[in-house]
Structure 1
Amino acid sequence: MKKILGIDIGGTKIRLGVVKENGEVLADKKIPTKLPLYPYLEEQVLKVMTEFPDLSGIGIGTRGMVDAKTGVVTFETELEGWQGTPVKAQLEAATGLRVEINNDANCAALAEAKIGAAANFQKVVCLTIGTKLGGGFVFDGQVMNGTHGGAGEVGHLILYPNGLVCGCGRPGCSEQYVSGTALSRLIQEENVIDPETGQLAIPQNLFRLATNGHTSAIVVRERFLSDFAVVISTLQAVLDMDCVVVGGGVSDSADDWWENLLAKVESLKLSPLELKRATFGNEAGMLGAAMLIIDRVN
C-alpha cells in the first residue's frame, strides 16, 4: 500500500505525517514554523525521506491562497516570503516525487469528504470555525479551487452590508460574525459575566453558560447561531450540497449548541441537507494534504 507525506503548514507550526492510502498514519511529526519557509520545508521533507525512502508523493496544505494547478502560493500576508513561492516545482525538483499543494481548509474538507464525516456524500461543504471562518468545497471527490484558488473563502461572504470592517478591508464579512473572534466580541457587547469567576466569560464556556440558562449568554448564542445558519442557507442556495461538515476549535463545544443550530438551519434550508460534526480535529489538514496525492499515484 502506497505511502504519502502529508504536510499541514500553519502560522506557528508545521505537521508532517506519513499516511497510507486508507488514511492510516504511520508517522506524525510537529515542528515550529520557521522563516524563510521554503528552504526549511525542503530540509524537513528530505529528512523524512531518509526514514521513509518509499514515499509515493507529497501533499501540502497551507494557509493562504494557492494556484493548485501551478503549485504557487498566490496570496499569504503573514508568512513573510511565502507568497509567490513555486512550491510544487521546487519541491518536485528537490525530491523527484510528485507534489500537490492546496489551501489548508480545502485539505481539511478533502479529509472529511474522503474518509471522515462525509465519506458517503457527493457534494460536501466543510466549514471550520476557529479564530476565523474557513471553508472548503469537495464535489465528487475533487476540491473546487476556483480560478484564482479562492473558492471556499466562506469567511468573506458579505453577511451584513456596511457592517464591521474585515481584515480583508471590506465591511460585513461573515467571519466578523461567525468565528471565535466574533464570539469574543459578542461576549463583550453583551457583557456576559461568568458567575464562577466574576469576569467576562471566555468563548470556550459561553455555550455551557447558555445551556445553564445564563440570560446574556443565551443572547450571544442566538445571535451567533442565527448568523451561522444564514451562512449555511446561503451556501445551499448557491451550491446545493448534500452535506455540511462543521469543524474547528469552536466546534469543540458543539454538545452545547448543535441541536440549536440544526433547528435554525431547518427553518431556512431549501431542500434536504445533512449537517455533520467533523470526524477529524487538528490532524484534518495533514490527512487531507495526503489525500491530494493518493488518487493521483494509483
Structure 2
Amino acid sequence: MTHVLGIDIGGTKIRMGVVSTDGHVHADWTISTEIPLYPYLERHVKDALEKHPTIVAIGIGTRGMVEPGTGKIVFEMQLEGWEGTPVKQWLEAATGLPVEVNNDANVAALAEAVLGAGQGYKNVVAVTVGTGLGGGLVFDGEIIDGKHGGGGEIGHLILYPKGLPCGCGRQGCSEQYVSGSALHRLIKEHDVRSAEGEVVSPRDLFPLAAQGDVKAQAVRHRFVEDLGITISTLQAILDMDVVVVGGGVIDSSDAWWDEFIKTTEPLLLKPLTITRAQFGNEAGMLGAAMLVRNVAADSEKGRNV
C-alpha cells in the first residue's frame, strides 16, 4: 500500500503524519517549529521518508499565503525567512517526490470536505473561528485558491465599513468581530465578570450566558449575529451546499449553536446546511495529506496493473 506525508506547519509546532488515501493515519508525530525553517523541514522530511518508504508524495499546509501552482510562500510575517521560500521546488528536488503546498486554513477545509463534515457535498465552505477568522473554499473536491492564493480569506471580508483596524491594513474586517480575539475585546467592553468579580475568558463566556447573565448574553448575541452575517454574505456570492464551522471556539458551541442557527436562518437567501467541523487539531495534517491523495491513488493503480 502507498501512503502520503501530510505536514501542518504552525507558528510553534509542526505536525506530520503518514496517511493513506482514505484518510487512515498510520503514523503521527509533532516537532517544534525552528528557524531557519526550510533546512529544518527538509531534514525531518528526509528522516520520515527513510522510516516510511511507502510514502509517494508530500502535502504541506502552512501559515501564510501560498502562490498557486508554484508552492512558493508569498506572504508570511511571523515565521522569519519563510516568506519567499519556494518550498515545492526545493523539496521536490531534495526528495524526488511530488510536493503540493497550500495555506493551512485551505487544507483544513479540504480535510472536512473530503473526509469530514462536508463529505458528500459538492460545494463546501469551511469557516474556522480561532484566535482569528479563517476559512477555505472546496468546490468539486478542489481548493479554490484564486489568482494570488488569497481565495477563502473569509476573515478579511469587510463586515463593518470604516470599522476596527485590521492587521491586513484595512478597517472593519470580519476577523475583528468574529474570532477569539474579538471575544476578548467584547468581554472587556461589556465588562463581563464571573460571580467572583473576575473578567471572564471566552471559554467561560458562553456557559455564563447560558446561566442568564445579561452582559454575557449581549456578547454572545453580537458574536453569533456577526458570524451569521458573514455566512449570509458568503452564500450570496458562492451559493454553497454546506458551511462547516470549526476552530477553537467550536469547543464551546453547545452553549451558542442553537442561537447562532436561529439568528442566521432569517439572513439567508436560500436554505443552507450549516454543520460543525468533525476534525480539530488533526484537520491541518489530514488536509495536507489530501492535497496529494490523487498522486497516491494513481501510484496504487499503477502497482496493480
Alpha-carbon shift at residue 264 of structure 1 (Å): 1.2
Measure how far apart 1:50 and its partner are: 1.1
- How far apart are the structure 1 equivalents of 2:223 and 2:293? 37
Aligned to 1:245: 244
Which consecutive aligned stretches of 4+ in structure 1 deviate over 4 angstroms post-superposition? none
CA distance, structure 1, for counterparts of residue 68 and residue 171 of structure 2: 29
Once the 2 structures are TM-superposed, how far is the Cα of residue 53 of structure 1 from its aligned partner? 1.2
Alignment map for 1:20-35 (pairs within 5 Å): 20-35=20-35
Q: Does 1:178 align with 2:178?
A: yes
When the two structures are aligned, how many residues end up with a matched partner?
297
**Alignment identity in percent?**
60
Q: Does 1:262 align with 2:253?
A: no
Alignment-derived partner of residue 60 in structure 1 = 60
TM-score in terms of structure 2 length: 0.96
Check the 8 A contact 2:56/2:295 in 1, yes or no. Answer: no
8 Å CA contact 1:111–1:291 kept in 2: the answer is: yes
Shift of residue 93, structure 1, vs aligned partner: 0.6
- Determine the structure 1 residue equivalent to 2:303: none
- Judge conservation of contact 1:4–1:290 (CA < 8 Å) in 2: yes
Q: TM-score, length-normalised on structure 1? A: 0.99
The equivalent of 1:286 in structure 2 is 285
Distance 2:9 2:173 in 1: 25
Q: Distance in 2 between matches of 1:51 and 1:286?
A: 18
Q: 1:188, 1:2 → 2: CA distance?
A: 52
Q: Which residue of 1 is the match for residue 222 of structure 2?
A: 223
Q: What letter is aligned with 2:271?
A: P
- What is the aligned partner in structure 1 of residue 2 from structure 2? 2
Matched with 2:274 is: 275
Instruction: Give the aligned partner of residue 48 of structure 2.
Output: 48
Partner AA of 1:25 in structure 2: V
Unaligned runs of 5+ in 1: none
Answering whether residue 121 of structure 2 is matched by residue 121 of structure 1, we say: yes
| Structure 2 residue aligned with 1:144 | 144
- For residues 21 and 241 of structure 2, the distance between their equivalents in structure 1, rounded to whole angstroms, comes to 25
Structure 1 residue 169: deviation in Å? Answer: 1.3
Amino acid at match of 1:17: G
What's the offset of the Cα at 1:2?
2.1
Q: Aligned letter for 2:192? A: V
Shift of 1:55: 0.5
The superposition leaves residues 44-86 of structure 1 with CA deviations (integer Å, 9 ceiling, x where unpaired) of 1011111101201000000110013011011001101101100
Aligned 1:180-219 pairs, distance under 5 A:
180-195=180-195, 197-219=196-218
CA contact (8 A) 2:116 2:279 kept: yes
Contact kept, 8 Å, 2:68 with 2:147, in 1: the verdict is no
Tell me the equivalent position of 2:90: 90
Give, in whole Å, the separation in 2 of the partners of 1:121 and 1:209. 36
What do residues 159-209 of structure 1 show as CA deviations (whole Å, max 9, x unaligned)? 0111000111111010000000000000000000011x4200100011111
CA distance in 2, matches of 1:120, 1:71: 28
The one-letter amino acid paired with 1:235 is L
Whole-angstrom CA distance in 1 between matches of 2:165 and 2:136: 23
Q: Deviations over 1:250-287 (max 9, x none)?
A: 11100001111111111111112100100000010000
Gaps of 5+ in 2: 299-305
User: RMSD value over aligned CA atoms?
Assistant: 0.7
Q: 1:167 is matched by which residue type in structure 2?
A: G
CA contact (8 A) 2:17 2:29 kept: yes
Give the secondary structure class of the aligned counterpart of 1:97: coil
Contact 1:243 1:273 in 2 (8 A): yes
Measured after TM superposition, the shift of residue 89 of structure 1 is: 0.7
More off after superposition, 137-146 vs 1-10: 1-10
